[in-house]
Amino acid sequence: MDKLASLRAFVNVVDLGSFAEAGRKLRLSRSAVSKYVGDLERELGVQLLNRTTRQASPTETGQAYYERALSVLADLDAADQAASQAQSTPRGLLRVNAPMSFGTIKLGPVLADFMERYPDLQIQLVLSDEQLDPVQEGLDVTLRIAELEPSSLIARKLSDIDRVVCASPGYFRKHGKPEVPADLRQHECLTYGFLSTGNQWKLTGPDGQDYWVAPRWSLCANNAEVLRDAAVKGRGIAVLPVFLAEKELKSGALVTALDDYKPPQLTLYAIYPPTRHLSVKVRLFIDFLVERMR
């Protein structure tokens, strides 16, 4: 029996409450996870888990064993980390998650340069605008542009992201430019579906006063690149991150409006699960992001 593999399988089943979820995290089949746990129970001569068709929970004995197993695995991981930190070159797989638009526009060159610096690393990038669970998905680093909810995860701020109110010159020639936030109610607007404020826009005036507008929207999407492209085509006014519309603003395909009224800045964070010893590959990657995103 592979005792270490059995311990890891058992701990992950308890953490996630499911053989299938543990298998997904460990990149094993459900049956393989079940076999590892079964081997462990047979060797110990005790039942560690209560099983149903969909869930698994520890027995009283299993809970006590789980706590000891956590300590054993933590000490082993610490030893592995110490050995890893003794070498200057990180190795292994680094799994990174990022928002779709930010990943396609900004992250490619950053990852390529990081790979050049650390050629022994493998990087798996998962782009998604959904907020994936870093623990359940087995992610090492998750990049998020959001206001973060309280969580056990660790977050490190990488940079602020400015936004602008903009549309195509043709749209403004046809419909006029809004002069104050309330004017937006008379315009076709393009809204982002994942804002914490819903379809309300918040703009802060030169006097520091906040103005809230519920614009009449013609397109709502959960991908800002779609909104940018629709704005370029003259379909309405959008509030876009500057990094996303930088090329179009420079070329004149998009022009700004309400320049005295600022949308709230967004914040880019790097998020990772808490561990007793942060792995070398994660620490180096986050430090590299801080350096590049500055």
- pLDDT of 31-72, one tens digit each? 998 999 899 889 989 998 998 878 889 999 989 998 888 888
Q: Tell me: pLDDT of 148 over 80.
A: no
Place of tokens 């789980």: 66
C-alpha count within 13 angstroms, C-beta hemisphere, residue 276:
13
Q: Tell me: pLDDT of 265 over 70.
A: yes
DSSP calls for 159-173: EEE-EEEEE-HHHHH
* φ/ψ (deg, to 5) at 53: -65, -25
Q: What is the mean pLDDT of residues 158-175?
A: 94
- pLDDT of 228-253, one tens digit each? 999 999 999 999 999 999 999 999 99
CA dihedral 229→232→233→239, nearest 10 degrees, is 70
What's the whole-model pTM score?
A: 0.64
- pLDDT of 103-118, one tens digit each? 999 899 999 999 999 9
- pLDDT of 198-229, one tens digit each? 678 999 999 999 999 988 888 998 888 999 99
Q: Tell me: pLDDT of 88 over 60.
A: no
- pLDDT of 195-204, one tens digit each? 655 678 999 9
102, containing H or E segment: helix 100-102
Q: Tell me: pLDDT of 29 over 80.
A: yes
C-alpha count within 13 angstroms, C-beta hemisphere, residue 169:
6
pLDDT band at residue 280, thresholds of 50, 70 and 90? confident
> For residue 86, what pLDDT is reported?
52
Higher pLDDT, 69 or 79: 69
96, containing H or E segment: strand 92-98
> For residue 229, what pLDDT is reported?
96
Q: Tell me: pLDDT of 276 over 60.
A: no
Q: What is the mean pLDDT of residues 127-131?
A: 83
Helix (H, G, I), strand (E, B) or coil at 89: coil
